[in-house]
Amino acid sequence: MNPLLTRQQQRTICSDIGNVKLKLLYKASIHGFTVAVFHQRCDNHSPTLSVGYNSSGHVFGGYTVQSFNQSGQYMHDNTAFLFSFNGKFCKYPVVTPAYAVRMVSNSGPYFGEALALISGNQKVVYSAPGNYYNFNAEEMHGNNLNLTECEVYQVEESAELEKPWRTIVWESEKRKELMEGIKAYKPLISSVSQVRVLLVGPVGAGKSSFFNSINSVFKGHVTSQAIAGCAATSLTTQFRSYSVKAHRDGKPLPIILCDTMGLEDAKGAGLDIDDIMSIVKGHLPNFYQFNPTTPMSSEASNYRKSPELKDKIHCVVYVIDASKISIMSTNLEEKLDVIRRKVNLLGIPQLILLTQVDEACPLVKEDVRNIYKSGYIKDLIQDISSRLGVPMSCIVPVKNYSEELELDVNCDILLLSAVIQMLRFADDYFDEVGDRLSSLQTKVE
């Protein structure tokens, strides 16, 4: 019995409810559009999520913690809500909790005189926005009351996995070991003293915050050198190469984090793909002011025509907000795919940095050490791997510093582990470059 509610839709609604998963109890196309079977399979189960589908493709329904029965009574539920998926997830909380759900023997799921799925063994939707739930009928189901499918899911607590799906040591000594490893790192190519890592991603994904977080770890306190925050358009408007120092007066670390303007959904907005490729190839200078409508010309006076290996990007990192992946637009996915393919042709390794993991999963919000015990985060990474075409081993979750005033050793370990992966990937790139140079030298001899 396969659910019609997509994994992405399930993930979106589960993240709104809490650390939960869905178990399909009733599917009308299989069990029958009859109220008797609905009550047989769904009564005395709670909480539940009821989902309707109509002939115009709308997905909508309701959630309640009350168990269905046939008493004819209204049931109080101040957590109940109606919802719809119409391009995006819309939620309509109960307005009158005392009338949140009505237990009707001749009806399927029945939410406060506002929404009912299946009535009198008919494939119909009853819909009446009003005092109990407020919603726009056109937005919810397009005023199409022709029901094509009805599903009811039991909402279950999603316990943490018995065994972590990745191994990580949560100790202060590990933090120290990671920091020392980064300080001691030396690129495999002698002409390169610092690995250059390019951060690319949608507006607000956490690119600048990632640099600030790494900088904070090595400074020993929370910093905010790079401009970061919440805005509809990118707060970063220049190409910036940030070198991290080992401490306030220390020498620079062997890694440079290159920050860029955010990718945006609309065409002609946000970072231009041609500018990204110019950065990757080493043509753009530090402090270059981006122009979303016109990429930098190769004839510009500050265009670096013959960049050396040390000027080029050695690893590309896509920064994605875990709490927003389910609503990432098709346009943004396509932009990321185009960039990924172009970078692939250059043989440059690529990683995905998954930010805001605590906002995406309540289990992680409770304790960041649950990151690799979270089945939700694992499913999310599997979904990203499938959607963006990268192996799971190339996806690294982190928690940036955003509201904290003090450092946390567990957040530091995640952040430092991500940097270690970047350096390892850069080593792979340098190995390839070294092999090509050796091959050319052999041919010349």
**Diameter of the chain measured on Cα atoms:** 91
Q: For position 255, what pLDDT does the model report?
A: 95
Domain end point (choices 129, 157, 185)? 157
Length of the chain: 445
Cα–Cα distances in Å, from 227 out to 324, 353, 411? Answer: 21, 19, 21
Cβ atoms of residues 244 and 258 within 8 Å: no
Does some domain include residue 1? no
322, 279: one domain:
yes
Phi-psi region of 117 (alpha: psi -120 to 50; beta: other; left: phi over 0): beta
Q: Pick from 157, 184, 217: which residue ends a domain?
A: 157
pLDDT in the model for residue 198: 96
Same domain, 235 and 144: no
Asked if the bond preceding 47 is cis, omega within 30° of 0, the reply is yes
| Nearest-angstrom CA–CA distance, 431 and 310 | 15
Whether residues 134 and 210 share a domain: the answer is no
Residue 2 is assigned to a structural domain of this protein: no
User: From CA 157, how far away is CA 148, in angstroms rounded?
Assistant: 29
Phi, psi of 24 (to 5 degrees): -75, 120
Domain-embedded: residue 163: no
Q: Tell me the residue range of the domain where 77 lies.
A: 7-157
Residue for token pair 């992405």: 8
Listed residue (163, 182, 165, 161) closest to 412, CA to CA = 182
Same-domain status, 365 and 430:
yes
- 207 with 247, same domain: the answer is yes
Examine the fold and report which residue of 123, 157, 191 is the final residue of a domain before the chain moves on.
157
> What's the pLDDT at 196?
96
120 lies in the same domain as 211: no
| Residues 195, 127 share a domain | no
What pLDDT shows up at residue 147? 92
| Partner residues linked to 43 by β-bridges | 68
Residues 148, 202, single domain; the answer is no
Whether residue 258 is contained in a domain is answered as: yes
Rounded distance between C-alpha atoms, residue 361 and residue 19, angstroms = 7
Residue 292: inside a domain? yes
Beta-strand relationship, 20-27 and 147-157: antiparallel
Contacts of 160 (CB under 8 A, 6+ apart): 363, 370, 373, 374, 375
Residue 431 DSSP SS3: helix
Domain assignment present for 167:
no
Whether residue 236 sits in one domain with residue 123: no
Do 127 and 247 reside in the same domain of the chain? no
Same-domain check for residues 141 and 278: no
pLDDT digits (tens), the chain, 445 positions: 789 998 888 888 987 888 788 999 999 999 999 999 999 999 999 999 999 999 999 999 999 999 999 998 999 999 999 999 987 899 999 999 999 999 989 999 999 889 999 988 888 888 888 889 999 999 999 999 899 999 999 998 875 666 889 999 999 999 999 999 999 999 989 899 999 999 999 888 899 899 999 999 999 999 877 655 444 445 557 888 898 888 777 789 999 999 888 888 766 667 788 889 999 999 988 888 877 778 888 888 888 889 999 999 999 999 999 888 877 788 888 889 999 999 999 999 999 999 999 888 878 888 999 999 888 888 889 889 988 889 999 999 999 998 888 999 999 999 999 999 999 999 999 998 887 766 666 655 5
Shared-domain flag, residues 432 and 387:
yes
Q: Is residue 337 part of a domain?
A: yes
pTM of the full predicted structure? 0.70
Structure tokens that stand for 359 in this block? 């906002």
Instruction: Answer whether 426's CB lies under 8 Å from 256's CB.
Output: no
CATH number at residue 254: 3.40.50.300
Cα separation, 304 vs 182, in Å, equals 29
User: Using an 8 Å Cβ cutoff, are 85 and 56 in contact?
Assistant: no
Q: What totals of helices (H) and strands (E) does the chain contain, helices first?
A: 12, 17
Q: Please enumerate in sequence order all residues whose Cβ is within 8 A of that of 417, keeping only pairs 6 or more positions apart, or say none.
A: 168, 178, 396
pLDDT of residue 231: 47
Q: Do residues 202 and 397 make contact, with C-beta atoms less than 8 angstroms apart?
A: no
Q: How many domains does the chain have?
A: 2
CA-to-CA distance for 282 and 302, rounded, in angstroms?
Answer: 12
Is residue 151 included in any domain, yes or no?
A: yes
